[in-house]
Amino acid sequence: MADSHLVEEAQSSLAVPNAKVRRQRISPVWFIPFFALVIAVALGVRAWQQKGEQIVITFEAAGGIEVGKTEVRLKDVPVGKVTHLQLSEDLSKVHATVTLDRSMSRHLSKNSRFWLVTPRISASGISNLGTLVSGVYIVMDPGKKEGYSDRFIGLSEPPAVQSDEKGTQYILRAQTLGSLDIGSPVYFRQLRVGEVVNYQLSEDGSHVDTRIFIEAPHDALVSARSRFWNVSGVDVSVGIDGVKAELASLSSLLLGGVAFETPVLASQQKLAEADHIFALYDNHDDATEGRFTLSYPYVLKFSHSVKGLQVGAPVEFRGLKVGRVVDVQLVSLGSPSESLEVYISLEPQRFDPTTAPTHEQLNELLNPLIKEGLRAQIKSGNLLLGSRFIELRYASDDTKVKAPITGLMTHSGVPQIPTIDEPLDKLERQLANVASAVSRFPVESIGQEMNQSLRALSNILNVFDQKKTAQALHGTIANTQKATAKMEGAVADARVTLQQLTQTLKSVDHTIAPDSQLHAEFLETLQSVSEASDSFDRFVEELYRYPSSLVFGLGKGE
């Protein structure tokens, strides 16, 4: 207890009466490192923003690219710059490191494209001449946003269509490319509405796919039934109608091109979707024929020559094309009877475009027509070129027709249409008759008689020449002309005398009473003199026209 009491006394002796607690303030010196930290963060953020987004673009060659100078542009606005160039490991390509503005990073995607702009000389003209002064630059096309990438393959050629252009792309399929190239125009009613974007050979090498771009709003003109054809150069065709040449435009002659049309009914249907595949025809005629998708084979047999009948020749019915010739074959050399087979294809949609009958239905339609006398015959299409075609016609009474046929026959599984097997049609027979009549004309005997007549005329002319008859006749005509000249003077004097006499009689008429006998006699005399004057004038006029009539007289025709 004593010890605890001593401790309490010691604590009480050490205690300070009325003690106060003071708080310590932060020194202003500590603000200096705080502000330094804020400035450092701001500088770091600014440096990060200025550094931008780094991407790598691989080109086939540098092509005038300079580090720190070559710009990357989007719609002619600089958005980056090349900061480094490096060759690939195999030295075949060039990797260009580009620093883009930080704001461009959100526009980068797997579909972004880059290409180098340099001066170009092509069939369409000269472009990008400004790069000769400012230097080359790289163009950026953001493309459709899909994923992210920082490595890209630079295009060797500028794309025909950029991602922000409105329109639709389609694919044209053909056996050959023709004269088409990237940038070749696409026409609608001879107005440019698009261009060729790209082309490539199919994997099996059987066809070429050409990608085209139709600008908006013209892509609304393309439906699933639209037809495309090549208008490159001059289209020259030879057929039964003669020679036809067609040129779409001068630019298509130099650059090539594609044209298309849409049938009126098709324009009311649903529009064609993007990347729809169309057939590319060689010309407009083939494109027009392409709308007939159904064709069924038939065979025709002939015994006479089919010279001039070519594959592709039309098959007509009453002047309208209903098909074409597919093939011509020689069946037998020994048997002349029906030794030639002509295969044709009939297109039922030409009869009624709204229907699509089967082969059996078309046969059922032809059977009653053949029973009524429908036959096939070879006709002349162009006499100058010697081309022929097949005509379906009803046999007439004056036409040589074989035994009656009740319908279609079948030959090797192909329906056979009966024919009128005549070697020549009526026009050719008429020409043959004319040629035969001309050949019977006695040209040789007529020529001999003409030679004899010419020799006789030559002998007469020689006799005239020997007797100098022509010279004498010339002298007579000269004398006649002199006499005529003298007579002209006499006629002029006579006219003056008659005029004076007329004036004198008029004076006398004034002096004589109107109701006297002398006055009447004077009037009769005056009338006689006037008639004589008219007769003399006519005589002088005839003498002017035929001066030789004084010697030879007037002929029958004169």
Please report, in tens digits, the pLDDT of each residue of the chain (558 residues total): 445 554 455 555 545 555 555 555 666 766 777 778 888 887 777 766 666 788 999 998 888 888 988 989 988 899 999 999 999 888 889 999 998 888 888 888 888 899 888 876 655 556 666 666 678 899 998 888 888 888 899 888 777 777 778 899 999 998 888 888 888 889 998 889 998 988 899 888 888 999 999 999 999 999 888 889 988 755 555 554 555 555 555 555 556 789 998 877 655 567 889 899 998 888 887 777 766 767 889 998 888 777 878 888 889 888 888 888 988 888 777 666 777 888 988 888 777 766 778 888 888 888 888 888 888 888 877 666 667 888 888 886 545 555 567 678 887 788 888 888 766 555 556 666 666 666 666 667 776 767 777 777 777 667 656 655 556 556 656 666 666 666 666 666 666 666 766 666 565 555 555 555 655 666 676 677 677 667 766 766 766 666 655 555 555 555
Amino acid at 73: R
State if pTM tops 0.85. no
Is the same domain home to 116 and 220? Answer: no
Whether residue 317 sits in one domain with residue 372: yes
Nearest to 348 by CA among 388, 294, 392, 408: 294
CA distance 275 to 83: 39
| Domain identity same for 73 and 126 | yes
Angstrom distance (rounded) from CA 390 to CA 376: 7
Is residue 41 domain-resident? Answer: no
Listed residues 433, 457, 478: the one ending a domain: 433
HSE of 222, CA atoms in CB hemisphere, 13 A:
29
Beta bridge mates, 330: 340
Q: What three-state secondary structure class fits 112?
A: coil
Query: Is 406 in the same domain as 375?
Result: yes
Domain count, the chain: 4
Look at residue 375 and tell me if it is in a domain: yes
Angle among Cα 375, 378, 379 to the nearest 5 degrees reads 115
Task: Tell whether 142 and 257 lie within a shared domain.
Answer: no
> Residue 404's Cα: distance from chain center in Å?
49
Note whether residue 162 is domain-resident: no
| 255 membership: H or E segment, kind and range | helix 250-255
Does residue 30 sit within a domain? no
Within-domain flag for 4:
no
Give yes or no: residues 276 and 319 share one domain.
no
Do 192 and 272 fall into the same domain?
Answer: yes
Residues 138 and 242 in one domain: no
Torsions phi, psi of 441, nearest 5? -65, 130
Do 309 and 410 share a domain, yes or no?
yes
Distance CA 246, CA 239 (A): 14
The letter for the amino acid at 255 is L
For the record, the structure tokens of 26 come out as 């932060």
Q: Are residues 273 and 320 in the same domain?
A: no
Structure tokens at 454: 């010419």
Q: 301 and 280: one domain?
A: no
Residue written as token pair 């004899």 = 452
* Full domain range(s) for residue 109: 50-153
Decide if 550 contacts 482 (C-beta within 8 A): no
DSSP H stretches of helix in 59-204: 131-134
DSSP summary character for residue 256:
-
Give me the pLDDT at residue 394, please: 87
* SS3 label, residue 331: coil
Burial class for 409, CB neighbours closer than 10 Å (0-12, 13-18, 19+) = middle
* Burial readout 317-356 (b: 16 or more C-beta within 10 A, e: otherwise): beeeebbbbbebeeeeeeeeeebbbbebbbbbbbeeeeee
- Boundary residue ending a domain (262, 289, 316): 289
Q: Which one of 409, 433, 457 terminates a domain?
A: 433
In a domain, 26, yes or no: no
Residue 485 lies in a domain: yes
Residues 281 and 309 both lie in one domain? no
- 413 domain residue, yes or no: yes
